Amino acid sequence: MIKMKLNKTDEKVVATLQAESKELTLQEIADKSGETPKKVFRSIKKLFENEIVSTKARKYKLIISDTKAIKAKLASKGEEEEPKV
């Protein structure tokens, strides 16, 4: 069973977007979270693919702002992708 979780970078990105409560560029997220742009990009990509973050004109914002709801969504995504035996 593959469970998707928030790693430390994901948690920092989510916390940064929650704190700012506005759209931010990748560089702004990197600056405010203290992570490298490369790590932030990977995290944003994961969150975008799981419909947690939306993007418009290269600015990102949370679709789901509650951390518990984000973790629940990722956990359910992991269960959905589990291969049927």
Q: Among 47, 61, 63, which Cα is nearest to 5's?
A: 47
Residues 52, 63, 36: CA angle, nearest 5 degrees: 55
Pairwise CA distance, residues 65 & 34, whole Å = 20
Looking at the domain assignment, is residue 83 inside a domain? Answer: no
Predicted TM-score of the model (pTM): 0.82
In a domain, 28, yes or no: yes
Residue 26 lies in a domain: yes
The phi, psi pair for 3, rounded to 5°, reads: -105, 130
For 34-78, the pLDDT digits (tens) are 999 999 999 999 999 999 999 999 999 999 888 889 888 888 876
The domain spanning residue 38 has which CATH number? 1.10.10.10
Q: Is the Cα dihedral 19, 24, 55, 75 positive or negative?
A: negative
Q: What gap in Å lies between CA 6 and CA 51, rounded to an integer? A: 14
Is 65 inside a domain boundary?
yes
Q: What is the extent of the structural domain holding 24?
A: 8-78
Asked if residue 6 has pLDDT above 70, the reply is: yes
Any domain includes 44: yes
Domain count, the chain: 1
